[in-house]
Structure 1
């Protein structure tokens, strides 16, 4: 039954009773169930009841009369009805009761008013004829609504719609993975009329999709365009529209209307397209950019109020008459940031480990943290913007490739890495046979090194490419036509010619992967190249290639040279210990450093994590929106100190990635030595910083600069002019020492995440025991806390009571403990134990003190 809401003026109650009488046969035959405010029972919240029934109606009848148009309450209901029509597709029927100036209201005159031609019911010589005319129109609308509601999707299309495509059988604990198991709404760029973009959360399309009416959505290859099509299809369907999905590899040649009808009959279990209300049909055209006659399609589909066109580039459409797409709202799919990656990883784990989540309150979070680090390392985010787009396909493929119990493809993942898995997967999807895989990979290996050796970035112009192919065909057997090989590499988005007619890689990780493969296979001939790469790890390209070389070879030569380089970084400094003798000057300013405060028992660790994710996402967004803004990038580094600093940090990150990836194949001694050398690089940098701030002249110089700046702010702000010179001095010194503390904390944290891993807990422990310094102890326990979710309270309390443990080091460790408590579920007893052992104030205790004061 269709829910019929009647909006009317009480002054027309007699006419409404007539309407109820005439609509009774529809009610008795199960076609409608009417509702109007006379159905509200005594004592009920009448306005809430009216609003709820209005929101849930399928057909709204506006009983128009002079009384209706004079009533503010009726006009408000009319506005709500029209809003629901725009946002939810609810049918709104104006029924003209008596002659009135209803056409003055433009929004009403645009609707189909009944009786026929908007003639008032009371204007008929026999009112019954007027009511019959109106009822016939309502029956037609009901028939249309019921026809569309009853539409069923055919099984093959329904499987496509709900399927996870290539990832359908990729999950360890679920035989068939559905789209809803892993779908996360992407953020979009929304372009206004002047083509200025702003961010838009596609979740909002659930409630706003009808407002936008005609959409153009763009996205790079593997950005998730088809997946978004599927979700939009379901949104339209839930609003009782008839979406029709179109995808044509044959460039959409042929009659657009015929293609639409054919697609409808393939997707819906219904006999004819003609019986469907055309106003409710929504064409969703995937890969519209390949259409040969784009203008023809847009002209043919102009009559559809709602439609979606999916393209690879909004501004690359072949449309001469731009007025045709002026009314389309234009969106582009953005890469996932930390927020969306976190949601996607969480969904993957919850499917995978549902039975285990209750064992440990932090089990789920530990899994998320572990997988987040692996994903970000694989995407290359650890070194900057990344080498692989942060799209769901890549993230999920990496997760699936890591799932050893049921890998994406056992033959692929047995090769050892998700990058190779993805490359092989591309080739397999294009129908490359197993025995031809070697031909393609060899071609890519030689091509990559050719580009690297020519120092041409990641591209070759056409002449260079022809020179390469001449070289290749003269040195290697190529049993398949070169044109076929190049076409297949283009079809699967491994390589292609770009708009500048340069041949290169679609994604830089493929280039780095094969350059490293070549170098590792010709290691004896590439010693000079390896030395040059390792000496210049401040360049992102070299850092990526080094990590990939370590994947391709088990040779110790690379590690040996990397370790030699690490040992000479900041070599004139001894590693920082953070002992009392070293930091006695810092400890004198303990009272100026902000205190670590434990969260309350009721705190929400998810909220704390979300704050950090939002901060990370904003940073990633700024990098993506300003791709050329890289202040310390590559050879453009402005000072030798900054270059050495970047080189040192990158070297440790590379060392960390290598020992994380090879934690099971390198010997214990080797792992410990690499870990130790990586830690010492960070600690030598820390010593260089400590020596700078130890100089009282440095403090005074920076304090004076800060005072000058704050004075300037005070002069511009009337409220701050009562700040005395002494207060200003105290404020500035507090800022100075807190900044210094933040630098110490930052480098310790960097060391924890660069070298830490759940598989390296024993290594970190052994190095800490060997070094016996507060610095090594803090790093070790930082790794335990983050990777093992374990706070060794007694160990920490005992060690921090040592005289050689500086007050600053104790405070650093307290901050790490508090950070852990904020980000994880800690029960009341454990929080109280931490509070007592470490003498840490708690949020609740501070609040009570403030209240008592």
Structure 2
């Protein structure tokens, strides 16, 4: 089922309702579901909820009117984010021309808009106008590519050198079946266990769940236990699910300002993003490897961890198992759930 996100000004509520009515056929057939800001549940954080649903959408409708253009949130936030997703090939943006206004030079000016001949408000038979929009949505749904398939085909978002590093197994492997063996070809997510318990009930289903939930996790492991391979796999899966992960090797971490650190890494990792402020909070996912090698003193480590909490709702830090002995001395680690990588073992019997 495809999600249709509707971005509109509250002044155009009646047009939004008419649009939803005309989408009822597709909804009843289980082809689509719709979402707009009136669907926010009381108590939810508005901007995060909106960003999450834009990110999940296959088609984004921009309900264009003078009030839409005049809205700093519709035009400056929702529309900007929608265009970014469209340019990355992760969603289709359709400008729906509601009421006459000046759109010359708008970011969506070059996109195919509907209706093509005149604004919906100028139609005597508005049902015919909305039917044109429905037909365009049907075409767009056929063209959308699943996000994981898109990433598998070609990654245009990342620097080529960084993308090659993500796929590097970092060991020499040979096979008659293929010239190059990538990390995805051989990697299996390990299980994680609470640090202070040997109880089997503490086993997680898989470390692959880490990108799916918010929170702060410290993953400890022995030397050669696969911590860096786990970091790479988490990065790729987070990106495939629509997040914008940022990887930092703590061996190169020499300051406590997470924004400056991320801005440097973003320029090294991404082609189409320049700084952390361009990534909406709901999409941010921070991964720090080799944290036991960080050169910062404990005071600056705490400053770093505090700044991470301000900027990220999801962070995974990986470190050698010896790091567990200094955790009590670092106050900022108190918010982290501590896990250890379970060693692979053969079944008994």
Same fold (TM over 0.5): yes
| Aligned equivalent of 2:244 | 242
| Aligned equivalent of 1:4 | 4
Is the contact between residue 243 and residue 281 of structure 1 (CA under 8 Å) also seen in structure 2?
A: yes
| Aligned equivalent of 1:173 | 177
| Aligned equivalent of 1:140 | 77
* Distance of aligned partners of 1:225 and 1:321 in 2 relative to their CA distance in 1, 3 Å threshold: closer
Whole-angstrom CA distance in 2 between matches of 1:16 and 1:278: 26
Which blocks of at least 5 consecutive residues in structure 1 are unaligned? 8-13, 22-33, 64-77, 79-93, 95-101, 115-127, 339-615, 620-853
Is the contact between residue 218 and residue 336 of structure 2 (CA under 8 Å) also seen in structure 1?
A: yes
| Aligned equivalent of 2:255 | 254
Is the contact between residue 185 and residue 201 of structure 1 (CA under 8 Å) also seen in structure 2?
A: no
* Distance of aligned partners of 1:132 and 1:144 in 2 relative to their CA distance in 1, 3 Å threshold: closer
Larger relative contact order (C-alpha < 8 A, sep ≥ 6)? 2
Whole-angstrom CA distance in 2 between matches of 1:268 and 1:129: 35
| Aligned equivalent of 2:36 | 61
C-alpha RMSD of the superposition: 3.7
SS of 1:217's partner is strand
Whole-angstrom CA distance in 1 between matches of 2:48 and 2:286: 27
For residue 315 of structure 2, the aligned residue among 307, 318, 329 is 307
* Distance of aligned partners of 1:195 and 1:212 in 2 relative to their CA distance in 1, 3 Å threshold: farther
| Aligned equivalent of 2:189 | 185
Which blocks of at least 5 consecutive residues in structure 2 are unaligned? 50-64, 89-155
Is the contact between residue 189 and residue 208 of structure 2 (CA under 8 Å) also seen in structure 1?
A: no
Q: Cα offset for 1:218?
A: 1.2
Alignment of 1:161 with 2:166, yes or no, is: yes
Whole-angstrom CA distance in 2 between matches of 1:301 and 1:195: 30
For residue 320 of structure 1, the aligned residue among 315, 320, 329 is 329
Encode CA deviations 1:422-446: one digit per residue, 9 max, x unaligned.
xxxxxxxxxxxxxxxxxxxxxxxxx
Instruction: Return the TM-score normalized by structure 2.
Output: 0.60
Encode CA deviations 1:493-525: one digit per residue, 9 max, x unaligned.
xxxxxxxxxxxxxxxxxxxxxxxxxxxxxxxxx
1:376-415 matches, cutoff 5 A: none
1:274-313 matches, cutoff 5 A: 276-279=278-281, 280-293=283-296, 294-303=301-310, 304-313=312-321
| Aligned equivalent of 1:705 | none
Whole-angstrom CA distance in 1 between matches of 2:325 and 2:82: 39
Is the contact between residue 295 and residue 319 of structure 1 (CA under 8 Å) also seen in structure 2?
A: no
Whole-angstrom CA distance in 1 between matches of 2:289 and 2:265: 12
Q: Cα offset for 1:181?
A: 0.9
Is the contact between residue 262 and residue 275 of structure 2 (CA under 8 Å) also seen in structure 1?
A: no
User: Number of residue pairs matched?
Assistant: 253
Higher helix residue share: 1
1:113-512 matches, cutoff 5 A: 136-137=73-74, 140-147=77-84, 150=88, 152-167=157-172, 169-190=173-194, 198-202=202-206, 205=209, 209-250=211-252, 252-256=253-257, 257-270=259-272, 272-273=274-275, 276-279=278-281, 280-293=283-296, 294-303=301-310, 304-313=312-321, 315-318=324-327, 320-322=329-331, 324-338=332-346
* Distance of aligned partners of 1:271 and 1:182 in 2 relative to their CA distance in 1, 3 Å threshold: closer
Q: In terms of mean alpha carbon deviation, does 218-227 or 172-181 score higher?
A: 172-181
| Aligned equivalent of 1:39 | 23
Higher strand residue share: 2
For residue 14 of structure 2, the aligned residue among 17, 28, 31 is 17
Q: Cα offset for 1:211?
A: 2.0
Is the contact between residue 244 and residue 284 of structure 2 (CA under 8 Å) also seen in structure 1?
A: yes
After TM superposition, where is structure 1 displaced by more than 6 Å over at least 4 residues in a row? 194-197
Larger of the two Rg values belongs to structure: 1
Whole-angstrom CA distance in 1 between matches of 2:309 and 2:15: 41
Whole-angstrom CA distance in 2 between matches of 1:195 and 1:212: 25
Whole-angstrom CA distance in 2 between matches of 1:331 and 1:211: 15
* Distance of aligned partners of 1:277 and 1:296 in 2 relative to their CA distance in 1, 3 Å threshold: same
SS of 1:201's partner is coil
Q: Cα offset for 1:315?
A: 2.5
Q: Cα offset for 1:191?
A: 5.5
Encode CA deviations 1:703-753: one digit per residue, 9 max, x unaligned.
xxxxxxxxxxxxxxxxxxxxxxxxxxxxxxxxxxxxxxxxxxxxxxxxxxx
Whole-angstrom CA distance in 2 between matches of 1:336 and 1:145: 43
* Distance of aligned partners of 1:195 and 1:290 in 2 relative to their CA distance in 1, 3 Å threshold: farther
SS of 1:332's partner is strand
Is the contact between residue 191 and residue 329 of structure 1 (CA under 8 Å) also seen in structure 2?
A: no
Is the contact between residue 188 and residue 202 of structure 1 (CA under 8 Å) also seen in structure 2?
A: yes
For residue 47 of structure 2, the aligned residue among 92, 112, 126 is 112
